């Protein structure tokens, strides 16, 4: 079915509007991060301004953001790696043995409101003197990553034919050997998808770190939130901080958009 010519014109115009409304605010944020506060307050200078790096200087030098970037990276990477180690074999087992109820246990973590877990966690971990440390942050972020990884990998393994594993069994490999040498290498795209999304969601997570991080272990979203003081807002600095947290994710997205799309839509089209 070939779309008609008027439809093509209408579609191009409509998509242009969609793309503009989605991208323009983000560009506006990036633009504001290069403006002095005087320029931000002067609505006449919305587009004609002389760019400055002062805001980035404030954020990176004075506000200690280098440390927060490191915290965010470390927590997101560690949570992702540990969740993959736990989640990929679990997803494999749940997919091959059709363990629907067990999968539901893991997916509950995606449904339950985070606040209801935070009070007990806070109690236990503060008694263990762990609040404010990296361990508790990584554990809490794994709670976000693990269900995501299990969900994505289950639908990936569901789509992977079992013939290759069976052939490997005939060749004399054990079940676990077949998983390790045949299925796992075939699952690299799925693992990449799950890992990227888990990293992004952990990087973006706000609530767990808001309660469980300390002054030195703050992740970027919490640092941005704390940037808003009670007095007047340093808009330029705030936008620079917001850009610092968003830009890496957007750059990743540019390069691996196919993986992100396949991860976000995993399991949506089957029964």
Partner 1 sequence: MVGLTGLATRAGTLAALRTPETLMSAVTTPVSRPSEVRPPSPATSAWSRWANAHRKWLFAAPAMAFVAVLIIFPVAWTGYLSLTDAEGSVRAESEFIGFQNYLDVLSDTDRFWPAVWRTALFTGVVLLVEVVLGMAIALLLWRPFRGEKWVRVAILLPLVATPVAVGMMWRLIFDPNIGMANQMLSWFGIGPQPWLAGQNSALPTTMFIDIWQWTPMVVLILLAGLTSLSDEPQEAALIDGASTWQRFRHVTLPLLMPTMIVAILLRGIDALKTFDILYATKGRGGGSFHEVETLNVYAYGLSFDYNDYGVSSTVLIIFFLIIIGVMWALTYRKKGLER
Judged by CB under 8 A, the chain residues 74 through 93 that form the site for partner 1 are 86-87, 89-90, 92-93
- Residue 50 CB, shortest distance to partner 1, in Å, is 18
Residues 210 to 269 in contact with partner 1, rule: CB under 8 A: 211, 220-221, 224-225, 228, 233, 235, 238-239, 241-243, 245-246, 249-250, 252-254, 257-262, 264-269
Find the binder of partner 1 among 23, 53, 66, 128 (CB under 8 A): 23
Residues 132-161, mask of contacts with partner 1 (x by CB under 8 A): -------x--xx--xx--x----xx--xxx
Find the binder of partner 1 among 5, 50, 62, 111 (CB under 8 A): 111
Region near partner 1 per CB under 8 A, out of 50-58, 61-69, 73-81, 173-181: 173-181
- Residue 16 CB, shortest distance to partner 1, in Å, is 9
Q: Which one, 64 or 204, has the nearer CB to partner 1?
A: 204
Q: CA nearest 92: which of 142, 156, 143? A: 156
- Residue 61 CB, shortest distance to partner 1, in Å, is 20
Find the binder of partner 1 among 60, 69, 73, 99 (CB under 8 A): 99
Q: Is 6 in the site for partner 1 (CB under 8 A)?
A: no
- Residue 96 CB, shortest distance to partner 1, in Å, is 8
- Residue 12 CB, shortest distance to partner 1, in Å, is 8
Instruction: Determine the Cα–Cα distance for residues 252 and 260; give it in Å rounded to an integer.
Output: 10
Instruction: Determine the Cα–Cα distance for residues 87 and 79; give it in Å rounded to an integer.
Output: 11
Residues 198 to 217 in contact with partner 1, rule: CB under 8 A: 200, 203-204, 206-207, 211
Region near partner 1 per CB under 8 A, out of 52-60, 63-71, 73-81, 101-109: 101-109
Q: What is the DSSP string of the chain?
A: -PPPHHHHHHHHHHHHHHHHHHHHHHHHHHHHHTS-HHHHH-GGGSS-----SHHHHIIIIIS-HHHHHHHHHHHHHHHHHHHHHHHHHHHHHHHHTT-HHHHHHHHHHHHS-HHHHHHHHHHHHHHTT-TBSHHHHHHHHHHHHHHHHHHHHHHHHHTS-SHHHHHHHHTT--HHHHIIIIIHHHTHHHHHHHHHHHHHHHHH--HHHHHHB-TTT--HHHHHHHHS-SS---HHHHHHHHHHHHHHHHHHHHHHHHHHHHHHTTTSS--
CA 242, distance to chain mean position in Å, is 15
Find the binder of partner 1 among 114, 130, 132, 134 (CB under 8 A): 114
Q: Which one, 50 or 185, has the nearer CB to partner 1?
A: 185
């Amino acid at each position: 079915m070939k779309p008609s010519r008027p439809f093509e014109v209408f579609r191009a115009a409509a998509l242009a509007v969609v793309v503009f409304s989605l991208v323009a605010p983000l560009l506006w944020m990036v633009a504001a991060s290069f403006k002095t506060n005087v320029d931000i307050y002067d609505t006449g200078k919305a587009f004609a301004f002389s760019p400055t790096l002062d805001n980035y200087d404030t954020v990176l030098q004075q506000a200690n953001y280098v440390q927060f970037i490191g915290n965010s990276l470390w927590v997101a990477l560690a949570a992702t790696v540990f969740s993959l180690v736990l989640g990929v074999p679990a997803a494999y087992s749940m997919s091959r043995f059709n363990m629907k109820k067990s999968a539901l246990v893991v997916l509950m973590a995606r449904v339950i409101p985070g606040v209801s877990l935070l009070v007990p966690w806070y109690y236990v971990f503060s008694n263990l003197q762990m609040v404010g440390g990296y361990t508790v942050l990584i554990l809490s972020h794994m709670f976000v990553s693990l269900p995501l990884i299990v969900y994505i990998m289950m639908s990936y393994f569901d789509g992977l034919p079992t013939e290759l594993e069976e052939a490997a069994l005939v060749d004399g490999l054990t079940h676990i050997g077949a998983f390790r040498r045949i299925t796992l290498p075939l699952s690299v795209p799925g693992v990449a998808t799950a890992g990227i999304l888990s990293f992004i969601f952990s990087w973006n997570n706000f609530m767990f770190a808001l309660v469980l991080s300390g002054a030195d272990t703050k992740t970027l979203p919490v640092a941005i939130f704390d940037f808003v003081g009670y007095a007047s807002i340093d808009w330029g600095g705030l936008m620079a901080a917001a850009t610092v947290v968003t830009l890496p994710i957007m750059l990743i997205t540019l390069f691996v958009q196919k993986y992100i799309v396949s991860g976000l839509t995993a399991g949506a089209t089957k029964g």
